[in-house]
Structure 1
Amino acid sequence: MNNDLPLARRDIIALRLEQGQGAVSTALALEFGVSEDAIRRDLRALAAAGRCRRVYGGALPLLPVSPASQAVTVRIAEGAERKQALGSAAAALVQKNALVFLDNGSSNLAIVACLPPDFGLTVATNSVHIAAAVLARSDVRLIMVGGTVDAAVGGCVDAQALAQVALLNIDRCFLGACAVSVSGGIAAFDPSDATFKRALLAASIDVAVLVTSDKLETRAPHRVCALGDIGQLVLEHDAPAAIRATLEQAGATLLVAPQLSHPAPTLE
């Protein structure tokens, strides 16, 4: 196929990308009878227009926007059993007498009921919902990181909260994430939330992220860190094998939660 009109050629490439197909520069150059430089110019123009992602040798479709943009009160009611499985796997990472930080997030809330009893644990959190759940456990000490509560985030992510986190030596942090991808790393919707998460990374020895499958290979506007900055990604048992392989190739350490035959206990 030979098409000498760059705009028409770009429209054809853009349509394929919108349909979920990748674009390989060498193959497109052969198909359209033009140079690879011409195809690269097309892909640069499409990327600049926000219609694709440039990768080595071509381009990929844009990642979908993460569904985790809803308020945390909405997310808490979704996928309870799956989040319990993630919480159970995450709790196994906790050591005795540790200072554990549970960042805002409905998946992190599920960790509270799964923490081993009488482990001498101290849990710090900036989440109102998580603090309430920890308070119901007589065997876990609670540190509430305070400030002005952001209703959408479900907790405190302002300057006061940042200052308090800077004074902590966190053994194990479970970082919340709105979106997770190879190209975008860990990302968040709220810029203050992203800044707070970066402060948690700086204050923590070990960091893990619980990821429901609907957040995998999705995007959110504010980058927190690269995948390599995270100790473990805790995935659902049925996370797509292709995505798992891609994450591992990018340097992520994966922990796959087993499927629960019975729901984990919840705190009343």
Structure 2
Amino acid sequence: MNMNELLLQERQSAISRKLQTHGRVLAAELAAEFGVSEDTVRRDLREMAAAGLCERVYGGALPISPAGGSLNHRAGIARDRKQSLAAAAVSQIVPGSTVFFDAGSTNLAIATALPIDMTLTAVTNAPAIAAALIEKAAVQVILIGGLIDWQVGGAIGAKAMRDMESLSPDLCILGACGIDLAAGVTVFGFEDAEFKRFAASRSRHVLVAATSDKFGTTAPHGVVAASQCQCLVVERDTDGAMLAQYRDLGCKTIVADPAA
């Protein structure tokens, strides 16, 4: 291994450590720290992104979102934390309204946590969420159809878009793989992002409930800007200074009670 290759590995290892510790890294700051050009740093970040080690964003990079795997797999991860988020999110649902539940493990927890007597028209593209809702006699369930994506756990694509086109929910409970002030809400799948974006555009309000490890991370496909999330339901350990920036954008923040 020559010296240039060694220096390259050392830089990229240092960048990986910074991403894990601090989240977003900026090319200009890294260039000054390493004593190299910004072009060199940008090349490092491109190589790291191609290897799946980070996600390139304007001016730097973000860590890859931890949210991956099938819906059933994700539903079994951090179950208690998602139940706490669900209890807080339910408080934001108005009885008698029409709510779209996007496919997602936290959204499945929200559907499960709905009071048995809450009157609601619930729309979802996720069969697992529909199954949880149909157990609640006061909830009228509308299931969006189409090809079910195994990883998303819901219907996406042309048929799902056509079904969604006839609906105007009061609230969209949007699934997210990553959330960042600059990148906004992001997900791993291109068609999933298209459907989510359309569902959000059809809805009067957007709510996102997410575990703290999703903040400051990103996935390849953008859904909506952070400013388009009227309400964020977060865990108590989510960075307070960062949440203040979301509030400056007009996002209401609800902190979940871990005891819930």
Fold-level match, TM-score > 0.5?
yes
Match of 2:232, SS state, is: strand
Could you tell me how far 1:193 is from its partner in structure 2? 0.8
Question: CA deviation digits over 1:97-116, x for unaligned, max 9?
Answer: 10011000110011123324
Structure 2: gaps (5+ residues):
20-24
Match in the other structure for 2:231: 232
- Distance in 2, matches of 1:209 and 1:256, equals 12
What letter matches 2:142 in structure 1?
I
8 Å contact from structure 1 (residues 10, 42) kept in 2: no
Match in the other structure for 2:187: 188
Task: Trace 1:1-268 onto structure 2 (pairs within 5 A).
Answer: 14=12, 16-20=14-18, 25=28, 32=35, 39-49=37-47, 59=60, 62-245=61-244, 247-248=246-247, 252-260=251-259
What letter matches 1:115 in structure 2?
L
- Distance in 2, matches of 1:170 and 1:139, equals 17
- Distance in 1, matches of 2:63 and 2:221, equals 15
Query: 1:19 and 1:166, CA in 2 relative to 1: closer, same or farther beyond 3 A?
Result: same
- Distance in 1, matches of 2:144 and 2:178, equals 24
Runs of 4+ in 1 over 3 A off after TM superposition: 6-16, 21-32, 38-56, 116-119, 240-253
What letter matches 2:119 in structure 1?
G
- Distance in 2, matches of 1:30 and 1:15, equals 14
8 Å contact from structure 1 (residues 149, 155) kept in 2: yes
What letter matches 2:97 in structure 1?
A
Match in the other structure for 1:266: none
Task: From the CA coordinates, give the structure whose radius of gyration is larger.
Answer: 1
Percent of counterpart pairs with the same letter?
33
What letter matches 1:20 in structure 2?
K
Match of 1:180, SS state, is: strand
- Distance in 2, matches of 1:245 and 1:115, equals 29
Match in the other structure for 1:264: none
- Distance in 2, matches of 1:231 and 1:217, equals 18
Structure 1: gaps (5+ residues):
1-5, 33-37, 262-268
- Distance in 2, matches of 1:218 and 1:30, equals 23
What letter matches 1:128 in structure 2?
P
- Distance in 1, matches of 2:102 and 2:77, equals 18
What letter matches 1:254 in structure 2?
T
Could you tell me how far 1:96 is from its partner in structure 2? 2.2
Query: 1:154 and 1:122, CA in 2 relative to 1: closer, same or farther beyond 3 A?
Result: same
Match of 1:131, SS state, is: helix
Question: CA deviation digits over 1:10-53, x for unaligned, max 9?
Answer: 87755542331756858965995xxxxx8444444445555685
Question: CA deviation digits over 1:206-263, x for unaligned, max 9?
Answer: 11011112222222111111111111121112223454355446664322111125xx
Aligned length: 248
8 Å contact from structure 1 (residues 43, 54) kept in 2: no
What letter matches 1:66 in structure 2?
S
8 Å contact from structure 2 (residues 178, 219) kept in 1: yes
